[in-house]
Structure 1
Amino acid sequence: TLVLPATPKVPFWIRGRHESIAVRISTHPAIVALSHAFGGAIVSTSANPAGQQPARDLRTLYRYFGRSLWILPARLGRQRRPSRIVDARSGRILRE
C-alpha cells in the first residue's frame, strides 16, 4: 500500500480530512476480475476500523460496519497480516 499525495481532483469523500490517499494493488482473483470487468479502480475501506484487528470473517465485518456494506461474494484472501504501508514521498514505512 502506497500513501500518495491527493491532488485537487481527489474528492473529499475519498480523502476525508487527509492530504493523501492510500493506494493498494490487489492480487485477489475476485477483486482483479471485478476491476477488469468494469475497467476501473475500486474505492474501499479497509476491513477494519482504525486500531481494530482486521476482519477475517463475515460476522466480524458486519459487527464492524453493519449491514449497509456491500460484500463481494468470494473467498477471503490468504493474507494473515495487513499490507505494508509506505509513504511514497519519504519512503518511510508507516506499517510493516
Structure 2
Amino acid sequence: MDKLNIKPLGDRVVVEPAPAEEKTESGIIIPDTAKEKPQQGTVVAVPDNDKDNNIKVKAGDRVLYGKYAGTEITLDGKDYLILNQSDILAII
C-alpha cells in the first residue's frame, strides 16, 4: 500500500473501495452501466489519534459502509472515499 498524501480531519477516514464485480457467479459479464457501487473497501488513512478523536478503525482494516456514504475523490489516478466513521457499518 502506497503512502497516501492526505490526512483526514475530525472523525473522517479515507477508504479505497473494492473493485466492482465484473461478472456474476454464473459467469455473465456485467456491463459498466449495471455495476453495483462497492460497499466494502480498505481504510488507507485515519486522522492522528488525539483526545478528541475516538477512531475505532486503523489503516489496513477492511470495512463495510453504506452504499451512498461518503464523498468520492480521485488522487493520483485512484478513487477513494472520505467517510465519517459513523458511515462505517462493520470491520471485516
TM-score normalised per structure 1: 0.23
More helix by share: 1
Higher strand content, 1 or 2 = 2
Q: TM-score, normalised by structure 2?
A: 0.23
